Structure 1
Amino acid sequence: MEQNLSLYKIFYTVAIVGNISKAAKELYISQPAISKSITKLEQNLDTVLFLRNSRGVLLTEEGQILFKYLDSAFSTISTAEEQIRRIKELDIGHITIGVSTTLCKYILLPYLQKFIEQCPHIRITIECQSTNKTLQLLEDNKIDIGLVGKPHTLKNIDFHSLGEIEDIFVATDSYINHLKMREHAEQNDLFKTATLMLLDKENMTRQYIDDYFINNNIEINNLIEISTMDLLIDFAKIGLGVACVIKDFIKEDLKNKSLIELPLEAPIQKREIGFVFSKAVSPSSSVEKFIQFYKNYNN
């Protein structure tokens, strides 16, 4: 088929105008060159495509079949070219972002709101799952960007930090007072006696906190696993137990004292969050716009 591609355009033009001389003017090539190309195409296909007469040419039955499919093909090409032109003119594009539910709500949304105002024609798809799953999707080239806690290894990944977050333990003041009364527990024993609420084990935050417990020999007896940070906060506010949450996400609750931060003998080290990109894939123009946007956003 490849050897016929240039010949198809000539055939298609001749079929439309119905005359070799008119087709020559249309294509800016000589009449002999047109005739030679038609003859070559007929030889390649081993069939007759045109019937010649004094007024021009007519399609044979085989020529009509070829014209039908070429008409559809050239129409599809024209549609594709028009779509590309619109993409260029309107800055249309598509970005797929992987992010956990927590980081999506508290970190990503403000970026997206401003980005969409600047680039309204770029379509955004959000893949909400754990950080570990986001990193796997990035490695598999199924997403363009990830918003995650900084991974232990940055192999084949570009990491652009957005700053640090701090994990803390919180509860209502009444829950702590009732616990002390009921269990006669001192501050240092609260983790042994309290109902502790953590994210499930698929979450990187949970894995980070589990490492903290192990490194500090902290024993846990009563544990409830919760699927989202929002539910952790809500359950803590109704006095169900002690929740491990991200401090920046409950500033108002700490300020109005609906939740109280529990002091720790060994503070939990802050950790970085940021956008990640695969080094193995060249970013699209839409992704490059997003990269430039958040860099300017943070300056």
Structure 2
Amino acid sequence: MSASFDSYKIFYYVAKYQNITAAAKALFLTQPTVSHCIHGLEAELGCILFLRSQKGVTLTPEGLLLYEHVSIACEHIFKAEDLINAMNSLSDGVIHIGASETTLHHYLLPYLKEFRLKHPKIKLQIANNNTPSTIEFLKSGLMDVAILVMATDEKDTELTVHKLASFRYVAIASDAFMELKGRSVSLRELCDYPLICMEAGTFTRKFLDKYFLDYHYELKPDIELATADLITPMVKNDLGVGFAPYEFARKSLLDHTVFELNITEKMPPCEICAITNNGRPLSIASQAFLQMLLKKE
């Protein structure tokens, strides 16, 4: 059996319109071309598919059986073509985005707004999880792109990392720890103070653990938190020295309810990054979203 899809497509239109001329018009073909194709398909299948008359054509029992199956296939294919065309024009599609608390609040929201204004028919499904969970979701194919804070030296061969913006953590304290203000403070000295930071397992905690270990100290916080937005309030209430993303502490630093410590040992830089899975091609909508982020930098 060597009949092509084009032959079955022409058969579908002739059966649908019950008229060769109307089918030829719908297909932008000549009437002789359509007639020739139907004759060829009948010869290929070894049976008559249509009864011809001056009024048009009527399906034979064999033609009706074929149409019942071919119509389902054609309509599925045509529907798929419509969906692909909609995706190409960014008038349909879904983007699965993963983001940490930090990147969602202090980087991503304006870009989500901009993308929605440009492409209102694209659905945005956003999952807000910690960095390790988001990376696992990305690797498992449950997300298209993740927007996370990453260390500049962090490598993973399964992922492509696009740097979007610089990012830094700061050590902050309230005036209850005035003796630390306006001078250099070593990590060794800081270890004697109550410390506040994110809980174990988060990117921030891993980053800080490594930072301390690089200088041969162990980070032993007195207070561990699940969300970064609680660190500054804890510090403002004199509960200890906190390590927080700068953006979370910025307002309190500007109104002088907390101050930034000048730590002797330089804290390594971080980047806000867009991360994709090397083993999973991006949809057209996801590519457009990623390109929008990259063009902003």
TM-score (norm 2): 0.76
Aligned-partner Cα distance in 1 for 2:296–2:124? 18
Aligned-partner Cα distance in 1 for 2:114–2:267? 32
Q: What SS does the corresponding residue of 2:256 show, helix, strand or coil?
A: coil
Aligned-partner Cα distance in 2 for 1:152–1:215? 15
Give the alignment of 1:74-223 within 5 angstroms.
Answer: 74-89=74-89, 91-148=91-148, 149=150, 150=152, 152-174=154-176, 176=177, 189=189, 191-194=191-194, 196-218=195-217, 223=222
Structure 2 unaligned segments of length 5 or more: list them. 180-185
* CA displacement at 1:229 relative to structure 2: 0.6
Equivalent residue in structure 1 for 2:38, among 29, 34, 43: 34
- Can you list the C-alpha shifts for 1:22-79, whole angstroms capped at 9, x where unaligned? 76777531645523422433x3xxx765556786653345543433343343333333
AA at the equivalent of 2:123: R
Aligned-partner Cα distance in 1 for 2:231–2:82? 50
* CA displacement at 1:19 relative to structure 2: 5.3
Alpha carbons of 1:99 and 1:54: their partners in 2 closer, same or farther (altered >3 Å)? Answer: closer
- Can you list the C-alpha shifts for 1:90-126, whole angstroms capped at 9, x where unaligned? 5544333222121211122233233333333333222
Aligned pairs, number = 285
Deviates more, 1:198-207 or 1:92-101: 92-101
Give the structure 2 partner of residue 71 of structure 1: 71
AA at the equivalent of 1:107: Y
Alpha carbons of 1:87 and 1:254: their partners in 2 closer, same or farther (altered >3 Å)? Answer: same
Aligned-partner Cα distance in 1 for 2:219–2:162? 35
Aligned-partner Cα distance in 2 for 1:166–1:2? 64
**Identical-residue share of aligned pairs (%):** 29
Alpha carbons of 1:274 and 1:19: their partners in 2 closer, same or farther (altered >3 Å)? Answer: closer
Whichever structure has more helix as a proportion of its residues is: 1
Work out whether residues 209 and 219 of structure 2, in 8 Å CA contact, stay in contact via their aligned partners in 1: no
Alpha carbons of 1:89 and 1:220: their partners in 2 closer, same or farther (altered >3 Å)? Answer: closer
Give the structure 1 partner of residue 183 of structure 2: none
Q: What SS does the corresponding residue of 2:120 show, helix, strand or coil?
A: coil
TM-score (norm 1): 0.76
- Can you list the C-alpha shifts for 1:183-202, whole angstroms capped at 9, x where unaligned? xxx996553342x2221222
Work out whether residues 192 and 222 of structure 1, in 8 Å CA contact, stay in contact via their aligned partners in 2: no
Aligned-partner Cα distance in 2 for 1:113–1:31? 54
Q: What SS does the corresponding residue of 1:192 show, helix, strand or coil?
A: coil
* CA displacement at 1:209 relative to structure 2: 0.6
Work out whether residues 193 and 222 of structure 1, in 8 Å CA contact, stay in contact via their aligned partners in 2: no
Alpha carbons of 1:2 and 1:248: their partners in 2 closer, same or farther (altered >3 Å)? Answer: farther
* CA displacement at 1:210 relative to structure 2: 0.8
Work out whether residues 187 and 264 of structure 2, in 8 Å CA contact, stay in contact via their aligned partners in 1: no
Structure 1 unaligned segments of length 5 or more: list them. 179-185
Alpha carbons of 1:240 and 1:17: their partners in 2 closer, same or farther (altered >3 Å)? Answer: same
